[in-house]
Amino acid sequence: MFALTLEEFGGADALHWREIPDPRLEPGFALVRIKAAGLNFADIYRRKGNYHMDAIPPWVLGYEGAGEIVALAGDNLQGFRIGTRVGFADAPRANAEIVAIPLDKLIPLPDDIGFDVAASLLLQGLTAQYLVSDSYNIRGGEWALVHAAAGGVGLLLTQMLAARGAKVIALASSPEKRAAASAAGALHSICYEGDWSAHVIELSGHGVDVVYESVGSTLPESLAATRTGGAIIFYGFAGGNPAPIDPRILMDRSLTITGGDLWNVLTGPEERRRRAATLFAMVQSEKIKTTIAARIPMQNGAEAHRLLESRGIIGKVILTLD
């Protein structure tokens, strides 16, 4: 088979489309012929050597994708069979024609959910889903501030919050991205320039009830923009690590900071598939829509990495295979 491989860490030019051995089928696994794979910033961080990589090179990036089962093995096949359309959000080496995936991590796809939609939705959609239900159970009428609101998680998060009746203030870095956040349901879309925390307080009247903080370096401003008794959900640090917080700030204003990580809520195959089914139902009922910025053949993966790194896109980049 062919795969998008990496022999050494570096820029996008370090990626090469080359032939490597097919993965070996072991009990409890399925071999999936990939139709589409989602590209995420984590793939860029791994390519640069910023994230730990298992085994030895050549490495194959990618953790999210969708395709068809071509072989499977084990005593408990969990209802899967050859030809089943499946997606996954956390199985390594997804940037290849065939991927070996534990059966527990496979998610069956409804007939009306396409491979490209699944590959653009699962990782970021499941993240947005737990943020609005587990990390903070948002209620209608509450104010929510969403950082990086035109990013992959941000757009889905904004739609889910709006669907629950929340009043969303979106933060985004360009007019185009702010327009996309408004189209996704944000009541107000503002930029990061100037004293934006004061602007948030002015718009909400008293500060927001919850902040979805994914930038990291903006945590002090997020604390300032939150009402007394409000919450900050910290789930990313795309802009750098946050400065240390004096816990007396939390005590004085009765604030809460909660960390969030998807892998702590995907506790097993049943929970994984239950949450995915809820996510698919939101797509089917048009409560949320995926935004695909570009579909790029997997063999041109270096081009896809450069596009994502430019940070100029709105939505998801998909790597496709015929």
CATH number assigned to the domain comprising residue 297: 3.90.180.10
Q: Can you give the pTM of this predicted structure?
A: 0.93
Q: Which residue carries 């990086």 as its tokens?
A: 148
Last residue of a domain, one of 210, 230, 259: 259
- On the 0-12 / 13-18 / 19+ scale of CB atoms within 10 A, 50 is exposed
- Residue 126 domain-assigned? no
Query: Is residue 242 domain-shared with residue 173, that is, in the same domain?
Result: yes
* Residue 161 and residue 168 in contact, taking contact as beta carbons nearer than 8 Å: yes
Residues of the chain by 3-state class (helix, strand, coil), percent to 5: 35, 25, 40
- Residue 43 domain-assigned? yes
Q: Among the residues of 133-263, which ranges form H helices?
A: 152-163, 175-183, 196-204, 219-225, 247-253
Q: Is the per-residue pLDDT at 236 higher than 90?
A: no
Query: Is residue 76 domain-shared with residue 35, that is, in the same domain?
Result: yes
Query: Is residue 154 domain-shared with residue 199, that is, in the same domain?
Result: yes
Please write the tens of the pLDDT for every residue from 5-59.
999 999 999 999 999 999 999 999 999 999 999 999 889 989 998 877 777 889 9
Please write the tens of the pLDDT for every residue from 204-230.
999 999 999 999 899 999 999 999 999
- Helices and strands (H, E) in the chain, number of each type: 9, 16
Query: Is residue 40 domain-shared with residue 22, that is, in the same domain?
Result: yes
Please write the tens of the pLDDT for every residue from 142-167.
999 999 999 899 999 999 999 999 99
Band (pLDDT 50/70/90 cuts) for residue 2 is very high
Query: Is residue 50 domain-shared with residue 117, that is, in the same domain?
Result: yes
3-state secondary structure 119-155: HHHHHHHHHHHHHHHHHCCCCCCCEEEECCCCCHHHH
Indicate left, alpha or beta for 83 from its phi (over 0: left) and psi (-120 to 50: alpha): left
| 234-264 as b/e: b if 16+ CB within 10 A | bbbeeeeebeeeeeeeeeeeebebeebebee
Query: Is residue 102 domain-shared with residue 80, that is, in the same domain?
Result: yes
What span, in angstroms and rounded, lies between the C-alpha atoms of 290 and 277? 16
- Residue 130 domain-assigned? no
- Residue 128 domain-assigned? no
Query: Is residue 92 domain-shared with residue 58, that is, in the same domain?
Result: yes
125 CB-near residues (< 8 Å, 6+ apart):
156, 279, 288, 290
The angle formed by the CA atoms of residues 107, 287 and 295, to the nearest 5 degrees, is 60
Assigned token pair, 104:
């527990």
What span, in angstroms and rounded, lies between the C-alpha atoms of 156 and 126? 10
Q: Which helix (H) or strand (E) holds 210?
A: strand 208-213
Last residue of a domain, one of 207, 236, 259: 259
Query: Is residue 64 domain-shared with residue 115, that is, in the same domain?
Result: yes
| Range scoring the smallest mean pLDDT among 58-67, 119-128, 310-319 | 310-319
- Residue 168 domain-assigned? yes
Q: What is the mean pLDDT of the chain?
A: 95
Q: Which helix (H) or strand (E) holds 274?
A: helix 269-284
What span, in angstroms and rounded, lies between the C-alpha atoms of 237 and 215? 4
226-234 and 167-171 strand pairing: unpaired
**How many structural domains comprise the chain?**
2
Count, residues in the chain: 322
Amino acid, single-letter form, for residue 225: A
Beta-bridged to residue 18, according to DSSP, are 3
Query: Is residue 146 domain-shared with residue 246, that is, in the same domain?
Result: yes
Query: Is residue 151 domain-shared with residue 113, that is, in the same domain?
Result: no
What is residue 276's three-state secondary structure?
helix
- Residue 129 domain-assigned? no
Last residue of a domain, one of 259, 276, 302: 259
Query: Is residue 286 domain-shared with residue 176, that is, in the same domain?
Result: no
What is residue 171's three-state secondary structure?
strand
> What residue numbers bound the domain in which 149 lies?
140-259
Domain of residue 150, CATH code:
3.40.50.720
Whole-number pLDDT of residue 57: 87
- Residue 134 domain-assigned? no
- On the 0-12 / 13-18 / 19+ scale of CB atoms within 10 A, 22 is middle
Please write the tens of the pLDDT for every residue from 166-207.
999 999 999 999 999 999 999 999 999 999 999 999 999 999
- Residue 127 domain-assigned? no
What span, in angstroms and rounded, lies between the C-alpha atoms of 146 and 316? 18
Query: Is residue 242 domain-shared with residue 209, that is, in the same domain?
Result: yes
